[in-house]
Amino acid sequence: MSETNFDLVVIGAGPGGYVAAIRAAQLGMKTAVIEREHLGGICLNWGCIPTKALLRSADIFRTMTHAATYGLSAPNASFDLPTIVKRSRAVSAQLQAGVKHLLKKNRVTVVDGHGRLAGPGKVHVDKDGKGVADLTAKSIILATGARARVLPGLEPDGKLVWTYKEALVADTMPKRLLVVGSGAIGIEFASFFNALGAEVTVVEVMDRVLPVEDAEISGIARKSFEKQGMTIVTGATVKALERLNGEVLAVIEAGGKTTQAKFDRVILAVGITANLENLGLEGSGVRVDKGRVVVDDWLRTGESGVYAIGDIVGAPWLAHKASHEAILCVEKIAGLPDLHPLDIWKIPGCTYCHPQIASVGYSEQRARERGHEVRVGRFPFMANGKAIALGETEGLVKTVFDATTGQLLGAHMIGAEVTELIQGYATAMTLETTEAELMHAVFPHPTLSEMMHESVLDAYGRAIHF
């Protein structure tokens, strides 16, 4: 490399790392980003984006099978799994090329390899076991992301037992599928394969599916999944997976009882673990606690000049959280004024299953646990004109307010396109909006967003259409 001295070096080019690099370049910093595998990271290549492409195919197929409802005809609707997968990979490839272009456009130096700290202000880069570069920088950002968590005794083999990577490039359509874990990743894959005809069983160790969501929304989701034909087993653990003649025998324990069932494929979706190995953290001031890098409100680690963002600093493990931290971190390094630390509870979360689920802020239970007296509003999709016209009448919009101040504490949705609607509430929370402003706002008609307005009105006994 001709250039080895930089203002900022970023290790990892996922949605945190590449955003940090671009923002730093915009602010006039001489910047390098190191990536050992794919520009765009897991999200773009093996997570958020390709799963959405798969789920889009599933949504269209689901609609085709109900074409008669809309006065249309789609006899003998079918699908081709290899083509669905090929489209998904093409979407990721297109966006990866876009990230490469943006980095080049902003004159960010891209270094191919594995980066690790090599002393104060120093980063060593290896590739294929050989050193390829030694960089120096005033500031270093760790943005190495995370990978699928593996439980002892349930190790994936890439053939019969999959992680998200194998599920994304499935070479066969399983007739019987077991999904271990009902977080966003597990439920999205369960939704995809269920829509294409697989007999899906979901096993969740907690007492309900999507356990981070509001309990009421979680309950509605479970009823919907079961109505679609999924088998949901909560409060359960998979004790063992035995490979037998191209099948997997799963030993499942629930309610003190043990059962066995055979499946064609198993998807493990039991969380993620941070990529902290071989980063040169030993002997540095970077502290790791409970599998995450410890940082302050400005993403600073205990090592002077070293910062960390994204999945390696802890939950929520979301791409948009990493990107926001990237901007905040770089702008703090640059000395920009009037910055505000990230409020974790104001970060929206989305699950792109069918029906979609989205939330921001505190659940009703969490708000009460924090000492709030609450007012709760609800509005069902079945009472919304646009939802009826779309044929999407399954769902609910729920809002939680502080009964004394009118502060919007949380919003929780299940139904069509709620992953797009949730940002309205996220913006409202950022602006510290109360029920008064939300009631006064004019929502266009006919739209799904009208349900957001009606839910607010319902919290105060003023709903018009329900």
What SS3 state is found at 421? helix
Check residue 443 and report its DSSP letter. Answer: P
Strands 109-112 and 272-274 come out as unpaired
> Is residue 446 classed as helix, strand or coil in its secondary structure?
coil
Q: What is the dihedral of CA 93, 96, 97, 102, to 10 degrees?
A: 160
Helices (H) and strands (E) in the chain, counts: 13, 24
Question: Taking a C-beta distance cutoff of 8 angstroms, is the pair 16, 310 a contact?
Answer: yes
Asked if 279 and 117 count as a contact pair (C-beta separation under 8 A), the reply is yes
Pairing of β 31-35 and β 109-112:
parallel
Catalytic residues, by residue number, are 445
Q: Which residues pair with 232 in a beta bridge?
A: 202
Terminal CA-CA length for the chain? 66
* Cα atoms in the 13 Å half-sphere on the side-chain side of 187: 27
User: How many Å apart are CA 74 and CA 218, to the nearest integer?
Assistant: 33
Q: Are strands 396-402 and 408-414 parallel, antiparallel or unpaired?
A: antiparallel
Tokens of 320: 């948009």
In three-state secondary structure terms, 137 is strand
Residue 132 half-sphere exposure toward CB, CA atoms < 13 A = 14
Amino acid at 160: L
CB proximity list for 22: less than 8 A, separation 6 or greater? 102, 103, 106, 108
Secondary structure (DSSP) of 160-218:
SEE-HHHHHT-SS--SEEEEE--SHHHHHHHHHHHHTT-EEEEEESSSSSSTTS-HHHH
Tell me the one-letter amino acid at 296.
D
Dihedral pair phi/psi, residue 97, rounded to 5°:
-65, -35
Query: Both tokens of residue 3?
Result: 């250039």
Other CB atoms within 10 A of residue 445 CB: 11
Dig out the tokens for 34 from the structure: 């190191």
